[in-house]
Chain A
Amino acid sequence: MKKTYINGLGCISAQKTFDTIFLEEAELNEDDIILPLKAPVYKDFIPPVAIRRMAKGVKNGIVASTLALRVAHLETVDAIITGTGMGCIEDSEKFLKAILDNDEQFLTPTSFIQSTHNTVGGQIALGLQCKAYNLTYVNGSVSFESALFDAKMKIEEGEASSILVGGIDETSDYTMSLFKLAGFIKEENQGPYSVLEATTNGVVFGEGATFFALENEAKENTIAEILDLEILNKLDVSEVEDKIISFLALNNFELKDVDAVVLGYNGDVDSDSYYKNLSNTTFVNTPQVYYKHLSGEYDTASAFGLWVGSKIIQTQNIPDIVKLNALDKPAYKTILLYNQRNGNDHSFTLISSC
């Protein structure tokens, strides 16, 4: 069975995660309830003829995937697998608004074509002229993990030697207004919105695109190995520790072998109760990391979490801005990532240095 190596990564997020090493220019924003994106110069990556039809999610996906391929020194891949919770929601809104505004007449093609969940995967394939396996997973907060799971299986089974896998989500005005009404997003003018000191429900929202170039062999530029991944639909708070212990045991690890744990704290007091027990007891002697105060919460924010975990292994450093506790280790070899949202869509990802 082949192993899965992260040989390249690229990330566009609310932080300057391009043209930087590892969050050295990160800025904590506790004033906004929707974190604005730090956008690259898209024209440096996408031809002007193509860019004019693309919403920001598509542009971010293309840039992040391009960066991942560059780091991995790859020109094409054997598969492109993406995950997204809401897909290209900006163009979906445009298309639906046009239907309403024009009494179901005069429907224009561009926003319809670009509104599907697999637009990003399709546009990357068009850009690379890659006619290989191309799939998009839409599974809430495990959309990215579902894509990663598929990629890992394809590499393990020898069906592909290189795969581009990524998570993409974008914000849009109308959908965000609905999320505010539904209480998914925190109330305005109630800041500062500190993720760790939150006492209310709802989250600070974000958007981004994070891609990984996976290969079946370690190279000079290999960043980390993906050891294992598990997805569970529902868990009770009291079950999480046992699940982690059994997940680690499957890989011949114990809790003490974990050099750092990356937790998906998002500032929703109920959702974060799943992490509190782990922080206070299970991993009390382990360096702990959080990241959604930098990325915001969105369905594929866990891809940003994997980017953080991979960067810790690559740089052997945990930046202060993502530290949950003051513990350090002389080396970061094995990292566990745990994410869930409101008690659903739990994922455990185990990565290690090579």
Chain B
Amino acid sequence: MEALKQELKSKIIEVLNLEDIAIADINDDDALFGDGLGLDSIDALELIVMLDKDYGIKLVDPKEGKTIFKSIETMAAYISENRVK
């Protein structure tokens, strides 16, 4: 799980082009949207595509996203349970 969290932080920085942020700057329980990392709705779409492309997870219910993308912790937990690749 720890390796997956590190992998997710690295991917988020790369995919969302967060130039000024390092892996160490993101805590596992930091909010990804809003006051935390400050991601927005376009970033959410990028993360949905990333889940599909890298882990084979298709989010069919958009409401799920709010819980899944709450933090690195929640993302890692959801991916561990649902990944197909």
Contact = CB atoms under 8 A, between A and B. Distances in A.
B52 A106 contact: yes
A109 B45 contact: yes
A109 B46 contact: yes
B20 A48 contact: yes
A102 B18 contact: no
A284 interface: no
A108 interface: yes
Contacts of A181: none
27 contacts: A48-B19, A48-B20, A49-B38, A51-B19, A52-B16, A52-B17, A52-B18, A52-B19, A53-B17, A53-B42, A102-B53, A105-B52, A105-B53, A106-B49, A106-B52, A106-B53, A107-B49, A108-B15, A108-B45, A108-B46, A108-B49, A109-B42, A109-B45, A109-B46, A110-B42, A110-B46, A113-B42
A107 B17 CA distance: 16
B12 to A, nearest CB: 12
Nearest to A113: B42
Interface string B15-53: 111111000000000000000001000100110010011
Given A52-B18, A106-B52, A109-B46, 8 more contacts: A51-B19, A53-B42, A107-B49, A108-B45, A108-B46, A109-B42, A110-B46, A113-B42
A5 B16 CA distance: 42
Contacts of B52: 105-106
User: What is the size category of the interface that chain A forms with chain B?
Assistant: 10 to 19
A219 to B, nearest CB: 39
A183 B18 CA distance: 38
Nearest to A49: B38
Contacts of B45: 108-109
B23 to A, nearest CB: 16
B64 to A, nearest CB: 19
B3 to A, nearest CB: 23
Interface in A83-140: 102, 105-110, 113
Nearest to A102: B53
Contacts of A110: 42, 46
Contacts of B46: 108-110
A216 to B, nearest CB: 38
Contacts of B17: 52-53
Contacts of B18: 52
Nearest to A51: B19
Interface in A46-96: 48-49, 51-53
A53 B45 CA distance: 14
Which 7 pairs across A and B sit closest by C-beta, in order of nearness? A106-B53, A52-B17, A109-B45, A108-B49, A106-B49, A108-B46, A109-B42
